[in-house]
Amino acid sequence: MTFPQQKSRMNLTDERICHELSSQGWSIIDDFFSPTTLAQLTLDCQRGVSFRDLHQAGVGRGSQQAIEVTIRGDQIQWLEAGMTASTDSYLESMTRLRLMLNQKLFLGLESNENHVAKYPPGAFYQRHLDRFRDNDSRTVSSVFYMNPDWQPGHGGELRLHLDGLKHDISPLSNRLVLFISADIWHEVLPTHRIRWSLTGWFKRRQ
Ligand code: OGA
Ligand code: MN
């Protein structure tokens, strides 16, 4: 499936994304999908993760992984190809974005992985870097938000820590945030409403 509206918007913003990622390390793209695609994706993600596959997110990698709700309180489900048409479209969009980043910034990104994340009220994710200590393959992080009617008082901002300055980003529906995984310290502030996102990583060979 292709989404012409989304494709043309992507072309218009490619230059800006690349410029911002290379100059400041992060970039925000609003109105990423068409309203219909956004609505279907939001529905599918919420329906999918209310199933049995939703599990408490861990901290760390492989056998070192541990559940630490004092560090992160989200519940996640990894996306696989073939789950729903809308999640497949999301994966395809991320793949197109990956190829664009390779073409323009020569990042050599080989794959992308994504999970749905649900933050129940009260959940947060403490300040961290997305790159693991023993594995440097995560190169660009992506977060896409699906929270209709999000208000300033609902919390749940993505806080970027930029050379001592804080920059808060609201988890508004149809907003995609990209940042350099190795450089940008960030956290999710406590949310007061259920907060939905699709979080992913564009990865290089280790
Ligand atoms: C993460 C993360 C940010 C967000 O899952 O690693 O930092 O805004 N998420 O959900
Ligand atoms: Mn993170």
Give 104 Cα–ligand 1 centroid separation in angstroms.
25
CA of 118 to the centre of ligand 1 (A): 11
- This prediction's pTM: 0.90
Q: What is the pLDDT of residues 118-172, one digit of tens each?
A: 999 999 999 999 988 788 899 999 999 999 999 999 999 999 999 889 999 999 9
For the chain, how many structural domains are there in total? Answer: 1
The ligand with the least distance to the CA atom of 159 is 1
Contact call for residues 196 and 116 (beta carbons, < 8 A): yes
Residue nearest atom 1 in ligand 1 by C-alpha distance: 199
| CA separation for the pair 174, 147 (Å, rounded) | 8
Domain of 70: which CATH number? 2.60.120.620
Neighbours of 196 (CB within 10 A): 23
Give the atom of ligand 1 at the shortest distance from the alpha carbon of 187.
7
Output the pLDDT for position 20: 97
Give the range of the structural domain holding residue 31, as residue numbers without chain letter.
Answer: 3-204
Helices and strands per DSSP (H, E), number in the chain? 3, 11
pLDDT (tens digit per residue) in 66-94 = 667 778 888 999 999 999 999 999 999 99
Handedness of CA 87, 169, 22, 33 (dihedral sign): positive
Pocket test for ligand 1, best of 125, 142, 175 (most atoms within 8 A of CB): 125
